[in-house]
Homo-oligomer: A and B are copies of this chain.
């Protein structure tokens, strides 16, 4: 909480239950800043030299220097609004300014003067959190006596009202975040900076050295950083780009440390982690490990085989589906990695034992809602095969998906914009149109039919309880009927033609009748079924929102009994994690040092993308002129370092601070062994990967010099 406010007595004040002095386990925890004063003892014991109470104040240093930047995190690093974030977070900005003649992606960029700072793409945003206030009572006031979808709708209505009121203030974006799975709600106020400019970017072969091959890998040798500057109107208020705008003066900024970290040194990080599932029930853990992940791996393997077989038979199909195939392989790899990690950590057994102990310590009255939650989850579970297959049939098809989207758009367009389903509002139209245009480059009827034969063929084998009448009517109950239906649909549809799709889009966005087409006619029959299933899902989600707080109360009480604090699962709000520089023993007899050096850049260099280190970098490494940025013990230039900080997607660009609150690193990835950390934090394997600020300084001093920028950063 940004201001001290009495914990509401109505409901169970979960925030109070979490006010304990010990973290959940060594270095686990994405803490709300408001929790940090209560962790003061642990923070000091871990080595933090500052005042933990100071960390609770979002409007004071250092946390008011930490911002949401694009899809990740960033930090102010000068009084004139320099924002440091990842190269990959700011990649859109670099790309937006890049042309074949002036290839900023390949060559990097150094703005020699402020006049040369290049405007970001207009939709790039930097958000500064300026308020974080508990609004649980307001949000839940209308939910009394409600259940299921009605419960969720009451929460949504209250949320919209709060956001709308809050956004009366100009230049402020507001949102309401559910903490502890709906136990608590916070109103978040953010200053919305809209004029960002590119100041410094290293070449791609530094900022993204290793690319996909090194993604999730440690040891790492990537200089994944970029420097932007925030501008505001002359009145100091957020404004869209204008040449008359002036640099934004943040209330505080981070200072880069003169020295680097050593093994065991305290480190902390602040940022906007996206989503975690750490506090899910044991049944959900079991479902994830025993069913969801294996099923995804198996299904993706089958779809990969279908596309690869088609590619062997037809070179054009191979080209058209290259990107979809890559996506499937990435998803498959991630699911397999998560599964491997959860199994290695024995997460299901541990979570189950923990939950059983918790339930044994929970009063019967409390357990009633927890039992009801279990029933809701079990009901979802009964439809899991169907939900997976029909979901993937939509996401992995091009023409079928287009038809379904067009029909749904037709239906939604008949309503007032605010009442339309998310994804079908006025602001979504450009995206839909873009997707409809893109189909041309990604569609081959034989491949799509083969994918749907695979997916819907599996659907056909499900028991009756999981069947959907409209799908059965459309595709029959046998593989032969399915194949015939698909052949007829794809032989008859005109949607393979871009103009036909755009014509249908023009009608759909006006809510008018769609052209006659077999696939659109099919969509007209299937979409009502989809909406029906969606309503079932929303009812379940409402019930979960209503019932999970009981589970979280029991968990918080159990943690308290264990002498441990509880942090809410990540939800895109500002969090703080603390820990230390730590090596990694990923496997028997293998050790990874927590610091990499420029020697590794040369070792990995092949001259081929993505290991094509630029010649000026190789020359500078060979010259060995590292000076004061060299590590005194290693006697050479460091590149990246590793900590045991608790992070997840969204933490990209998070500043990493030392015990004195000085900037030592920039978070940009985690290790492969930690893919499963979105569900389970295993201190043996969970690591976060950071750019060493000494590498950034060296690059900016000696390789692609920007002395004026360094000076502005006080270096």
Q: List CB contacts (< 8 Å) of A555-606 with chain B.
A: 587-597, 599-600, 603
Contacts of A591 in B (CB 8 A): 590-593
User: Bound state CA distance, A600 and B590, in angstroms?
Assistant: 10
* A602 vs chain B, min Cβ distance (A): 9
Interface string of A215-230 (1 = CB under 8 A from B): 0001101000000000
* A689 vs chain B, min Cβ distance (A): 11
* A640 vs chain B, min Cβ distance (A): 9
Contacts of A593 in B (CB 8 A): 589-591
Please tell me which one of the listed residues B312, B588, B600 contacts residue A588 in the complex, with CB atoms under 8 A apart: B600
| Structural contact, A599 and B588, CB atoms closer than 8 A | yes
Contacts of A218 in B (CB 8 A): 589
Please tell me which one of the listed residues B219, B589, B592, B600 contacts residue A596 in the complex, with CB atoms under 8 A apart: B589
Which interface residue of A312, A590, A595, A603 has the most chain B CB atoms within 10 A?
A: A590
Chain B residue at minimal CB-CB distance from A340: B606
User: Bound state CA distance, A590 and B218, in angstroms?
Assistant: 9
Which interface residue of A588, A591, A597 has the most chain B CB atoms within 10 A?
A: A588
Interface string of A497-519 (1 = CB under 8 A from B): 00000000000000000000000
Contacts of A594 in B (CB 8 A): 589
Contacts of A599 in B (CB 8 A): 588
| Structural contact, A221 and B600, CB atoms closer than 8 A | no
User: Bound state CA distance, A80 and B344, in angstroms?
Assistant: 46
* A611 vs chain B, min Cβ distance (A): 13
| Structural contact, A596 and B603, CB atoms closer than 8 A | no
User: Bound state CA distance, A218 and B218, in angstroms?
Assistant: 18
Q: List CB contacts (< 8 Å) of A344-399 with chain B.
A: 344
* A634 vs chain B, min Cβ distance (A): 10
Please tell me which one of the listed residues B344, B587, B600 contacts residue A587 in the complex, with CB atoms under 8 A apart: B600
Chain B residue at minimal CB-CB distance from A594: B589
Chain B residue at minimal CB-CB distance from A639: B588
> How many copies of this chain does one complex carry?
2
User: Bound state CA distance, A221 and B588, in angstroms?
Assistant: 10
* A311 vs chain B, min Cβ distance (A): 9
Contacts of A603 in B (CB 8 A): 344, 587-588
Please tell me which one of the listed residues B219, B590, B597 contacts residue A592 in the complex, with CB atoms under 8 A apart: B590
| Structural contact, B597 and A219, CB atoms closer than 8 A | no
User: Bound state CA distance, A289 and B588, in angstroms?
Assistant: 34
| Structural contact, A219 and B595, CB atoms closer than 8 A | no
| Structural contact, B590 and A597, CB atoms closer than 8 A | no
| Structural contact, B587 and A597, CB atoms closer than 8 A | no
Chain B residue at minimal CB-CB distance from A641: B589
| Structural contact, A589 and B592, CB atoms closer than 8 A | yes
User: Bound state CA distance, A570 and B611, in angstroms?
Assistant: 37
* A688 vs chain B, min Cβ distance (A): 15
Contacts of A312 in B (CB 8 A): 312
| Structural contact, A219 and B588, CB atoms closer than 8 A | yes
User: Bound state CA distance, A600 and B218, in angstroms?
Assistant: 19
Q: List CB contacts (< 8 Å) of A205-250 with chain B.
A: 218-219, 221
| Structural contact, B589 and A590, CB atoms closer than 8 A | no
Q: List CB contacts (< 8 Å) of A71-97 with chain B.
A: none
| Structural contact, B600 and A219, CB atoms closer than 8 A | no
Q: List CB contacts (< 8 Å) of A87-120 with chain B.
A: none
User: Bound state CA distance, A698 and B603, in angstroms?
Assistant: 40
Chain B residue at minimal CB-CB distance from A218: B589
Chain B residue at minimal CB-CB distance from A601: B588
User: Bound state CA distance, A350 and B218, in angstroms?
Assistant: 32
Which interface residue of A218, A589, A593, A599 has the most chain B CB atoms within 10 A?
A: A589
* A599 vs chain B, min Cβ distance (A): 5
Chain B residue at minimal CB-CB distance from A602: B588
* A639 vs chain B, min Cβ distance (A): 9
User: Bound state CA distance, A589 and B587, in angstroms?
Assistant: 15
* A330 vs chain B, min Cβ distance (A): 21
| Structural contact, B589 and A595, CB atoms closer than 8 A | yes
User: Bound state CA distance, A590 and B221, in angstroms?
Assistant: 13
Contacts of A592 in B (CB 8 A): 589-591
User: Bound state CA distance, A592 and B588, in angstroms?
Assistant: 9
User: Bound state CA distance, A596 and B588, in angstroms?
Assistant: 6
Contacts of A587 in B (CB 8 A): 219, 600, 603
Please tell me which one of the listed residues B221, B588, B596 contacts residue A597 in the complex, with CB atoms under 8 A apart: B588
Chain B residue at minimal CB-CB distance from A313: B312
* A312 vs chain B, min Cβ distance (A): 5
User: Bound state CA distance, A219 and B590, in angstroms?
Assistant: 7
Contacts of A589 in B (CB 8 A): 218-219, 592-597, 600
Chain B residue at minimal CB-CB distance from A311: B312
User: Bound state CA distance, A595 and B219, in angstroms?
Assistant: 22
Contacts of A590 in B (CB 8 A): 219, 590-593
User: Bound state CA distance, A593 and B583, in angstroms?
Assistant: 14
Contacts of A596 in B (CB 8 A): 588-589
* A583 vs chain B, min Cβ distance (A): 9
Contacts of A219 in B (CB 8 A): 587-590
User: Bound state CA distance, A312 and B309, in angstroms?
Assistant: 9
* A638 vs chain B, min Cβ distance (A): 10
Chain B residue at minimal CB-CB distance from A640: B589
Chain B residue at minimal CB-CB distance from A606: B340
User: Bound state CA distance, A538 and B655, in angstroms?
Assistant: 69
* A220 vs chain B, min Cβ distance (A): 9
Contacts of A597 in B (CB 8 A): 588-589
User: Bound state CA distance, A597 and B589, in angstroms?
Assistant: 8
Chain B residue at minimal CB-CB distance from A595: B589
Chain B residue at minimal CB-CB distance from A591: B591
User: Bound state CA distance, A112 and B30, in angstroms?
Assistant: 60
User: Bound state CA distance, A243 and B589, in angstroms?
Assistant: 47
Q: Other CB < 8 Å A-B pairs besides A219-B589, A221-B588, A588-B597, 10 of them? A: A219-B590, A587-B600, A588-B596, A588-B599, A588-B600, A589-B594, A589-B595, A589-B600, A590-B590, A591-B591
Q: List 15 A–B pairs whose Cβ atoms lie within 8 Å, in order of A's numbering.
A: A218-B589, A219-B587, A219-B588, A219-B590, A344-B603, A588-B596, A588-B599, A588-B603, A589-B593, A589-B594, A589-B596, A589-B597, A589-B600, A590-B590, A591-B593
Q: Which 5 A-B pairs have the closest CB atoms?
A: A588-B600, A219-B589, A589-B593, A591-B591, A589-B596
